[in-house]
Structure 1
Amino acid sequence: MRITRRSVLRGATGLGATFAFGRAWAATEMDLGERRITTLNDGYLQLPESFLIGDLPQGEARAILDAAGVAAGGYEPPCNVTLLRSGAEVVLFDAGAGPGFMQSTGRLPEALAALDLSPEDVTHVVFTHGHPDHLWGAIDDFDEPLFVNARHLIGRVERDYWTDPETPVTIGAERQSFAAGAARRIELLQGMLETFENEDEVLPGIVARASFGHTPGHMSFEIGSGQALVVGDAIGNAHLAFARPEWPMAADQDPEQAARTRLVLLQELAERGMPLIGFHLPDGGMGRVEKNGEGYTFVSEM
Structure 2
Amino acid sequence: MNLHNTTYPVASKPEELVPSRYALKIGEIDVLVVSDGVLPLPTTMLAHNATPADRANWLHDMFLPQDAFDWALNAVMVRSGDKTILIDAGLGSDPDLHLPRAGQLIKRLAAAGIDLSAVTDLVLTHMHMDHIGGLLVDGVKERLRKDLRIHVAAAEVKFWEAPDFSRVAMPPGFPDALRATAKRFAKEYQGQLRPFDEQHEVAPGVVVRRTGGHTPGHSVVRVASGGEALTFAGDAVFAVGFEQPEWPNGFEHDPEEAARVRIRLLRQLADTGEMLVATHLPFPSIGRVAVDGDAFRWVPAFWDY
How far did 1:15 drift? 4.2
Q: Please give the residue correspondences for 1:109-124 in structure 2 after superposition, counting only pairs within 5 Å.
A: 109-124=106-121
Structure 2 residue matching 1:97: 3-state secondary structure: coil
Q: Does 1:68 align with 2:68?
A: no
Query: What is the TM-score with the length of structure 2 in the denominator?
Result: 0.85
Report the Cα distance in structure 2 between the residues aligned to 1:298 and 1:59, rounded to whole angstroms: 23
Partner AA of 1:122 in structure 2:
V
- For residue 43 of structure 1, the aligned residue among 26, 37, 48 is 37
Q: Which amino acid aligns with 1:250?
A: G
How has the CA–CA distance of structure 1 residues 11 and 133 changed in structure 2, closer, same or farther, with 3 Å as cutoff?
farther
Structure-1 separation of matches of 2:152 and 2:290: 30
Q: Which digits, 9 at most, give the CA deviation of each residue in 1:53-83, with x for residues without a partner? A: 3231222222222222221110211111111
Which position in structure 1 is the counterpart of 2:204?
204
Please tell me the residue identity of whatever aligns with 1:248.
P
Candidates 228, 231, 234, aligned match of 1:232 = 234
Stretch moving more, 50-59 or 91-100: 50-59
Residues 94 and 127 of structure 1 are in contact (CA less than 8 Å); yes or no, is this contact kept in structure 2?
yes
Check the 8 A contact 2:46/2:248 in 1, yes or no: no
TM-score, normalised on structure 1? 0.86
Shift of 1:14: 8.8
- Report if the CA contact (8 A) 1:245-1:263 is conserved: yes
Aligned equivalents of 1:74, 1:42: Cα separation in 2:
19
Cα pair 1:145 1:189 within 8 Å, conserved:
no
Matched residue, 1:89: 83
Change in Cα spacing, 1:262 to 1:14, as seen in structure 2 (3 Å) is: farther
Say if 1:48 and 1:266 are closer, same or farther in 2 by CA, change over 3 A.
Answer: same
1 or 2 for the larger relative contact order (CA 8 Å, sep ≥6)? Answer: 2
CA distance 1:230–1:26, change in 2 (3 Å): same
Whether 2:106 is the aligned partner of 1:104: answer no
What does residue 283 of structure 2 align with? 283
Q: CA deviation at 1:171?
A: 7.3
In structure 2, the CA distance between the partners of 1:169 and 1:60, relative to structure 1 (3 Å rule), is closer
User: In the TM superposition, what whole-angstrom CA distance separates every residue of 1:115-147 from its partner, at most 9, and x where no partner exists?
Assistant: 111222222111000001101111222584653
**Residue deviations 1:1-51, cap 9 Å, x none?**
xxxxxxxx997769421xxxxxx6442222123111111011111111222
d(CA) in 1 for partners of 2:292, 2:108: 35
Distance 1:10 1:195, change over 3 A: farther
Matches within 5 A, 1:87-236: 87-100=81-94, 102-141=99-138, 144=141, 147-149=144-146, 150-162=148-160, 164=161, 166-167=162-163, 174-224=174-224, 227-235=229-237
Q: In 2, Cα distance between the equivalents of 1:123 and 1:28?
A: 21
Inter-CA distance 251–88: structure 2 relative to 1 (3 Å threshold): same
Between the aligned residues of both structures, percent identity stands at 30
Rounded Cα–Cα distance in structure 1 between residues aligned with 2:115 and 2:27: 24
Give distance in 2, aligned partners of 1:11 and 1:168: 46
Counterpart CA distance in 1 for 2:92 and 2:43 is 24
**Quick check: 1:51–1:251 contact (8 Å CA) kept in 2?**
yes
Question: What is the root-mean-square deviation of aligned Cα atoms in Å?
Answer: 2.4
Is residue 168–residue 179 contact of structure 1 (8 Å, CA) maintained in 2?
A: no
Shift of 1:185: 0.9
Please, which runs of 5 or more residues in structure 1 have no aligned partner? 1-8, 18-23
Q: Residue 138 of structure 1 contacts residue 145 of structure 1 at CA under 8 Å; is this kept in 2?
A: no
Q: Deviations over 1:145-178 (max 9, x none)?
A: 653353211111111111x2x3268677751321
Paired with 1:14 and 1:212, the residues of 2 have a C-alpha distance of: 39
Q: 1:10 to 1:49 in 2, by over 3 A?
A: same
Q: Which amino acid aligns with 1:228?
A: L
Judged with a 3 Å threshold, the aligned counterparts in structure 2 of structure 1 residues 145 and 217 are, in CA distance, closer, same or farther, namely farther
Shift of 1:194: 1.2
Where 2:32 maps in the other structure, the secondary structure is strand
The alpha carbon displacement at 1:230 in A equals 0.9
Distance in 1 separating the partners of 2:224 and 2:205:
5
Q: How far apart, CA to CA, are the structure 2 residues paired with 1:167 and 1:290?
A: 35
CA distance in structure 2 between the aligned counterparts of 1:133 and 1:117, rounded to whole angstroms: 20
Q: CA 1:123 to 1:161, structure 2 compared with 1: closer, same or farther past 3 Å?
A: same
